[in-house]
Every structure is written in C-alpha cells, then in structure tokens.
Amino acid sequence: MKILDVLQKEAVLPDLKSQNKKSVIEELAMPVARIAGINHQKILRVLMEREQIGSTGIGSGIGIPHGKIGDIESLLLGFGLSRKGVDFESIDSRPTHIFFLLIAPENARDLHLELLGRIARILKNEPFRERLLYATDRDQIVSIIKEEDEAF
C-alpha cells in the first residue's frame, strides 16, 4: 500500500498554525473529518486518548498521531508541516515539524500497522524529511511524497 493510495490532497496542510499538541491534532483532523464525513471532535477524542498512552512523537521532528474509529470504512490519512515546530512530547524532546495523522477502521489492524510502518520507514530518510520541510505548497508536498513512495 502506498501513502498516496490513502492521502488525499485536501488533507495536506503545508503550514500548520497550531502551537501545541492538542491544537495540531485538531488542525490535522479537520480536513480528514470533512473528507470522511465524520465529526472532527470524534477523531480528536480518539487521538488524544491514544496520546495519553504514550506520545506518537517518534523523534527526528516527526509525529504520527494515530488511532481507530469503529464507524469508518477505510483508512484516513492527513499530513501537516509546522514551520516553527511544536512540543509534541517526542521521545527525543525536540520540536516536531512533520506530521502524518492516521485513522483506521476498528477492524483494520493489519492495514493500520502496514501503513503506519511504511510511513515510519519512509520518514527515516533524512533527505526526504529535508525536502518536505522546504516544500512551499500542497502540490509540492504531494509530489515529494509520491516520488519517495514510488522509490521505496
């Protein structure tokens, strides 16, 4: 499964304005909820409950908030860049700039883990992360993700 099989262009936010964890998650959830036709507060609640278990800030400036919701049919994915960086309680205590938000149907454990793993692996590539950080708009971000996704 490729990232762009799930990530819709409308869910790519090239310049997040939020300054804290909850606000970033809410900002990322808005377009995903709109695309899926569900209440963004539901997504926010699920993701914040997951964050209470442990931060999804995996270090190197990356956050991958994720969770499961019972009443959706397919994986939902959002992407955002924070130019200033946000304290996301990452394992390396550094600001987080690159975010992928993943919501999966309750019964899609394998697909959820497959896409989560793919995102984490692709983000290990430092030049890829650098290109994302310097992307100026949604089209450029989608193009960079597509290029890396196809090469991976």
Instruction: Please give the positions annotated as active site.
Output: 66
Q: Is the dihedral of CA 76, 142, 87, 55 positive or negative?
A: positive
Tokens 């690159």 correspond to what residue? 98
Answer yes or no: are the C-beta atoms of 111 and 76 closer than 8 Å: no
Say which amino acid occupies 152.
Answer: F
Paired strand residues for 98: 62, 81
**β-strands 66-69, 62-63 pairing:** unpaired
| Distance separating alpha carbons of residues 45 and 103, to the nearest angstrom | 12
